[in-house]
């Protein structure tokens, strides 16, 4: 069992330690009660807050597994939210002003997701063209947020549609809907890469692009696929964030989320160099980060301290993954 | 070429665009970005990336405000301390990257979180700075005739540009930077001290970050923890637009200067227009970045082939 977890073991241990510390500090931390017909409690809250990061980190894991990175997810989140709010509220003075009456739900949910996947596919196209992933996605990161602001005319577009706001605030079977969406997506991605040859292809592309290409792996299609998937998942996260606050804030939605997602992926034991990846680890990594944030908040330490904790985490995880750092300890052990 | 085209276009479109005042404004208004971009040029030339500079700038601006206003330390000493701190942080980045072979992206990402967090811990509010010494620093400017002055931050930027250009072109250190970017492995085999050079490169970038934070503090006469947000991305964009290859080994400080001027032209042109909103500058920058990386990609194979 432990062996199967592999690199996900460290973050899992970390998560358990943080959870136990919380339980020691706060009696009733693990208590999940039924309030108004649905579950509530600290654990549920952590999962709810972690949902967008989980979604983005899943896509990021696939991208990093091919040896790339996607910096544009934050901007894609902003675009997706802006389109959803635009189609729904069609504020005057924007591109959506010509929409009239009630827009159908298919359009409200479909358009943002299509736009998000297309943005991702565009990234994938650039990367498969031979451009470094950091730069290729940087362009969309800079321009994308601008485009989102253009779509909403720089305003925060608000709406009051019960169906849409249910995505971020509703419950189903007693659980908040964002959690269900995040885990459904995680399950689907897991199935897709583990029950088909896709996962193998992705790993192969990341491990050695040249040899996998010679072995007949269609590396360009694989790259376009993973970046599109990453864009799509970011689009879903954008819908959740947008429906949670019942509005599209193009300036702040998903800001720095790309960094959180990369961090979650690394915490989960996926190496930045590509090759092997670990979706379960990413899931745990994302939850661990949110647990830390919640811990810091409930301990009454200022929110700013989370950033410092994250910094220490990044360096720590990197050092653990570094061969020469391990060698340092191994040598000491022998002496 | 693109810069001249854009500049000419903007000049004909908007009255008064060609004036010396506007051109010097380019340098003055973008001194913070420019100085960070100089450090970033070195880092990118060596094949790395430094994401931390923006938050280093924010951190040093707020720390300067606190040191001067709350601890009553003389500004000159406070500035020296902060520049040293920036250099030390950069050195730490370089050390982690070269000693433990960590990806620069992640290490400097940690630096980004650390500095932004520290800055916000120091104060989440803007702190005004009042000190006679700083006022006198602000008075330093070179008259250009016709009521146009070369402000101190533009002087600093030009000095930094010349210094960095000189270092890259003439010194051993500069040649080593190019060698590392070209091929780290061969640089090592040639007996160049790759690790020490890399530590110094990141230390230089950290120094530039701290310096630009101090300029933020000086020009706005206040320190703010949120200063320099996204500055690292603008700097990377300016460097790439300036023709430096992100894979390292090819590019120059003068390219970065051009990239910076293109950046400034877009922004100033948008300001002159008035009817276009600020997000257009983001879209234009992103679009330009895209065009340049695609161009680089198209040009690259032909260069290595010849």
Question: Comparing A256 with B208, which gets the higher pLDDT?
Answer: B208
pLDDT, average across residues B142-171: 77
The answer on pLDDT for B276 being more than 70 is no
What's the rounded Cα separation, in Å, for the pair B91 and B87? 6
The answer on pLDDT for A113 being more than 80 is yes
Shortest Cα distance, chain B CAs vs residue A306, angstroms: 7
Provide CB contacts within 8 A for A97, sequence distance 6+. Answer: A90, A91
**Is B187 within 8 Å of B180 (Cβ atoms)?**
yes
pLDDT at B203: 92
Residue pLDDT, tens place only, A7-52: 566 667 777 777 777 777 776 666 666 666 666 677 777 888 888 8
The answer on pLDDT for B239 being more than 80 is yes
For an interface test with A, the pick among B58, B105, B117 (most A C-beta atoms closer than 10 Å) comes out as B117
pLDDT, average across residues B242-258: 80
Rounded percentage of chain A residues whose pLDDT exceeds 70 = 81
Q: Which of residues 60-119 of A touch B (CB under 8 A)?
A: 69
Which of chain B's residues have a Cβ under 8 Å away from the Cβ of A76?
none
Residue pLDDT, tens place only, A63-103: 888 888 888 888 898 888 888 887 777 766 666 666 655 56
Which of chain A's residues have a Cβ under 8 Å away from the Cβ of B233?
138, 141-142
Which of chain A's residues have a Cβ under 8 Å away from the Cβ of B293?
126, 131-132, 135-136, 139
What's the rounded Cα separation, in Å, for the pair A172 and B261? 55
A311–chain B Cβ distance below 8 A for any pair: yes
B291–chain A Cβ distance below 8 A for any pair: no
The answer on pLDDT for B139 being more than 70 is no
| Residue B245: DSSP 8-state | -
The answer on pLDDT for A334 being more than 50 is no
Nearest residue on chain B to A142, judged by CA atoms? B286
Question: Comparing B197 with A305, which gets the higher pLDDT?
Answer: B197
Shortest Cα distance, chain A CAs vs residue B280, angstroms: 7
- Block residue for tokens 């934050």: A74
B295–chain A Cβ distance below 8 A for any pair: no
pLDDT at A9: 65
Shortest Cα distance, chain B CAs vs residue A132, angstroms: 8
Shortest Cα distance, chain B CAs vs residue A315, angstroms: 6
Q: What pTM value is reported for the model?
A: 0.79
Mark yes or no for CB contact B285/A314 under 8 Å.
Answer: no
For residue A34, what are the β-bridge partners? A39
Nearest residue on chain B to A140, judged by CA atoms? B286
When mean pLDDT is compared across A78-87, A97-106, B63-72, B244-253, the lowest value belongs to: A97-106
Q: Rounded to the nearest 5 degrees, what angle is found at the Cα of A262, between the Cα atoms of A257 and A268?
A: 125
Residue pLDDT, tens place only, A184-195: 888 888 888 888
The answer on pLDDT for A209 being more than 50 is yes
């Amino acid at each position: 069992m432990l062996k199967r977890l592999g690199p996900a073991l460290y973050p899992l241990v970390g998560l358990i330690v943080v959870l136990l510390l919380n339980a020691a500090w706060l009696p009733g931390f693990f208590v999940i009660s039924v309030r108004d017909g649905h579950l509530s409690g600290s654990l549920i809250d952590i999962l709810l807050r972690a949902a967008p990061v989980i979604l983005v980190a899943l896509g990021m894991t696939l991208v990093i597994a091919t040896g790339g990175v996607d910096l544009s997810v934050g901007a894609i989140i902003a675009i997706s939210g802006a389109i959803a709010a635009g189609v729904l509220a069609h504020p005057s003075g924007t591109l959506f002003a010509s929409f009239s009456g009630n827009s159908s739900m298919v359009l409200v949910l479909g358009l943002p997701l299509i736009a998000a996947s297309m943005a991702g596919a565009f990234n994938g196209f650039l990367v498969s063209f031979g451009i470094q992933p950091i730069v290729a996605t940087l362009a969309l990161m800079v321009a994308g947020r601008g485009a989102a602001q253009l779509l909403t005319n720089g305003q925060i577009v608000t709406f009051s549609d019960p169906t849409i706001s249910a995505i971020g605030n509703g419950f189903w079977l007693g659980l908040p809907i964002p959690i269900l969406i995040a885990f459904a997506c995680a399950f689907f991605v897991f199935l897709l890469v583990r029950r088909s040859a896709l996962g193998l292809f992705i790993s192969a592309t990341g491990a050695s692009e040249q040899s996998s290409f010679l072995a007949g792996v269609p590396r360009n299609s694989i790259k376009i696929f993973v970046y599109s998937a990453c864009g799509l998942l970011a689009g879903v996260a954008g819908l959740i964030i947008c429906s949670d606050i019942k509005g599209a804030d193009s300036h702040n939605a998903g800001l720095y989320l790309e960094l959180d997602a990369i961090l979650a992926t690394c915490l989960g034991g996926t190496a930045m160099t590509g090759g092997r990846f670990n979706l379960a680890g990413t899931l745990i990594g994302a939850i661990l980060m949110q647990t830390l944030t919640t811990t810091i908040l409930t301990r009454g330490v200022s929110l700013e301290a989370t950033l410092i904790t994250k910094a220490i985490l990044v360096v720590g995880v990197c050092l653990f993954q570094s061969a020469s750092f391990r060698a340092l300890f191994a040598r000491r052990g022998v002496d | 070429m693109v810069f001249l085209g854009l500049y000419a276009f903007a000049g004909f479109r908007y009255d008064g665009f060609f004036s010396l005042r506007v051109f010097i404004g380019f340098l003055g208004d973008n001194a913070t970005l420019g100085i960070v971009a100089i450090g970033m040029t070195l880092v990118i030339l060596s094949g790395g990336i430094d994401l931390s500079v923006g938050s280093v700038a924010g951190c040093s601006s707020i720390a300067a405000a606190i040191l001067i206003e709350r601890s009553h330390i003389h500004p000159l000493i406070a500035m020296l301390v902060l520049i040293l701190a920036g250099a030390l942080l950069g050195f730490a980045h370089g050390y982690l990257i070269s000693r433990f072979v960590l990806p620069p992206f992640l290490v400097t990402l940690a630096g980004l979180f650390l500095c932004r967090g520290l800055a916000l811990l120091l104060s989440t509010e803007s702190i005004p700075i009042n000190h006679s010494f700083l006022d006198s620093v602000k008075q330093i400017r070179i008259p250009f005739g016709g009521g146009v002055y070369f402000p101190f931050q533009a002087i600093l930027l030009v000095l930094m540009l010349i210094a960095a250009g000189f270092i890259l072109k003439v010194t051993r250190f500069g040649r080593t930077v190019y060698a590392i970017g070209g091929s780290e492995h061969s640089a090592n085999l040639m007996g160049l001290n790759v690790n020490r050079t890399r530590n110094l490169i990141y230390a230089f970038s950290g120094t530039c970050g701290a310096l630009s934070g101090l300029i933020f503090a000086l020009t706005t006469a206040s320190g703010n923890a949120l200063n320099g947000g996204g500055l690292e991305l603008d700097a990377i964009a300016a460097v790439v637009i300036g023709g430096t290859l992100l894979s390292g080994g090819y590019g120059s400080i003068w390219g970065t200067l051009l990239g910076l001027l293109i950046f400034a032209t877009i922004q100033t042109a948008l300001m002159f227009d008035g009817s276009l909103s600020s997000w257009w500058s983001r879209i234009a920058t992103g679009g330009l970045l895209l065009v340049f990386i695609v161009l680089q990609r198209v040009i690259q194979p032909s260069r290595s082939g010849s």
